[in-house]
């Protein structure tokens, strides 16, 4: 039987924090009364990320690790994880646990097929804010995204999102953006397909060690946003997940 919750953790050169993160995920989820699994997706990490992920997957069957080369970006890793992992609910969680894993209960409580963590809401609890410039840049970016892609969603970019199984497969099988633009791509597709999205205030603490390179990733994301606007029709015409096939030359390791 499928576990109740599956956690997809994209990880690029995360050796510093991954051990602590996976230990915390296990500690918290083991204390809950539902079954769970977790998948680390690394693409082209050059540090000890995969050996940490493999150590967990070899000693605990709830964990698995997936790796491919070369590096393609967070969007590709999240999409790959969402398509590979099997659980009734699929949670995207960043490897830095900026949103603590226990916040997943708030997303479950929303009782929505898609529930996304959100930082700018009045009730959100930002324990540590992002640096001022990044926060302002994020707001300006979100203003543009709301106009071009996801009207009404205040925070598309938070790395903490819960999808019901079939909806995750349907949405991510139509996604194509490899970089950070995957967030608004997935939400725009979900919106167009008529899936309800609940935006939920969460506890969140900015963590040092961001992988975002503002100029490089910012310009790539704006390019992806414009391209998405021009190609959204084709994304929606793609067949749903049951017909989707996977053919990359990657490998998954489970114990």
Ligand X SMILES: Nc1nc2c(ncn2[C@@H]2O[C@H](COP(=O)(O)OP(=O)(O)O)[C@@H](O)[C@H]2O)c(=O)[nH]1
43 binds ligand X (CB under 6 A): yes
Q: Does 155 sit near Mg ion (CB under 5 A)?
A: no
Tell me the per-residue interface mask from 58 to 77 with ligand X, x by CB under 6 A, - otherwise: -------------x-xx--x
Complex with ligand X: residue 83 or 95, whichever CB lies closer: 95
Q: Are strands 125-128 and 160-164 parallel, antiparallel or unpaired?
A: unpaired
For Mg ion, the closer of residues 97 and 228 by Cβ is: 97
Among 3, 6, 8, 14, binds ligand X (CB under 6 A): 14
Instruction: Between 64 and 112, name the residue whose CB sits nearer to ligand X.
Output: 64
Residue number with CB closer to Mg ion (5 or 11): 11
Binding range to ligand X, per CB under 6 A, among 27-35, 50-58, 196-204, 207-215 = 207-215
Is 94 a residue that touches ligand X (CB under 6 A)?
A: yes
52 makes contact with ligand X (CB under 6 A): no
List the single partner that 41 binds among Mg ion, ligand X, none, CB under 5 to 8 Å by kind. ligand X
In whole angstroms, how close is the CB of 94 to Mg ion at the nearest point?
Answer: 5
Joined together, the tokens standing for residue 44 give 């082209």
- Does position 210 interact with ligand X (CB under 6 A)? The reply is yes
Q: Shortest distance, CB of residue 243 to ligand X, whole angstroms?
A: 26
Is residue 32 within 8 Å of 217, Cβ to Cβ? Answer: no
d(Cα 98, Cα 128) in Å, to the nearest integer?
Answer: 9
Which residue number places its CB atom closest to Mg ion? 96
Q: Where are the beta strands (DSSP E) in the chain?
A: 5-10, 36-43, 63-68, 89-93, 114-118, 125-128, 160-164, 197-201, 203-205, 251-254
Separation between Cα atoms, residue 49 and residue 65, nearest integer Å: 10
Residue 103 interacts with Mg ion (CB under 5 A): yes or no:
no
Specify the 3-state DSSP secondary structure of 108: helix
DSSP 180-201: TTHHHHHHHHHHHTT--EEEEE
Residue count at the site for ligand X (CB under 6 A)?
A: 19
Label residues 199-215 b or e (16+ Cβ within 10 Å = b).
bbbbbbebeeeebeeee
Interface mask toward ligand X for 156-195; x: CB under 6 A: ---x------------------------------------
Nearest to 10 by CA among 77, 69, 70, 65: 77
Q: Residue by residue, what is the 3-state secondary structure of 39-83? A: EEEEECCCCCHHHHHHHHHHHCCCEEEEEECCCCCHHHHHHHHHH
Cβ nearer to ligand X, comparing 121 with 212: 212
Residues making contact with Mg ion (CB under 5 A):
94, 96, 98
- Binding residues (CB under 6 A) for ligand X: these are 10-12, 14, 41-43, 71, 73-74, 77, 94-96, 98, 159, 210-212
């Amino acid at each position: 039987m499928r576990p109740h919750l599956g956690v997809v953790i994209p990880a690029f050169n995360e050796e510093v924090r991954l051990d602590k993160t996976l230990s915390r995920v296990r500690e918290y989820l083991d204390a809950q009364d539902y079954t769970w699994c977790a998948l680390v997706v690394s693409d082209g990490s050059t540090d000890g990320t995969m050996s940490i992920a493999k150590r967990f997957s070899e000693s605990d069957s709830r964990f698995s690790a997936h790796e491919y080369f070369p590096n393609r970006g967070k969007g590709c890793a999240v999409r790959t994880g969402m398509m590979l992992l099997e659980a009734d609910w699929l949670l995207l969680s960043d490897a830095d646990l900026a949103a603590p894993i226990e916040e997943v209960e708030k997303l479950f409580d929303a009782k929505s097929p898609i529930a996304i963590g959100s930082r700018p809401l009045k009730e959100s609890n930002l324990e540590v804010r992002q640096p001022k410039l990044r926060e302002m840049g994020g707001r300006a970016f979100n203003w543009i995204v709301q106009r071009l892609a996801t009207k009404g969603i205040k925070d598309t970019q938070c790395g903490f999102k819960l999808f019901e199984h079939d909806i995750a497969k349907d949405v991510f099988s139509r996604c194509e953006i490899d970089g950070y633009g995957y967030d608004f791509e997935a939400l725009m597709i979900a919106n167009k397909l008529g899936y309800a999205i609940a935006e939920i205030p969460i506890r969140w603490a900015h963590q040092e060690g961001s992988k975002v390179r503002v100029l490089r990733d910012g310009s790539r994301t704006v390019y992806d946003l414009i391209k998405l606007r021009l190609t959204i029709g084709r994304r929606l015409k793609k067949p749903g997940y049951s017909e989707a096939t996977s053919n990359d030359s990657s490998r998954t390791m489970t114990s």
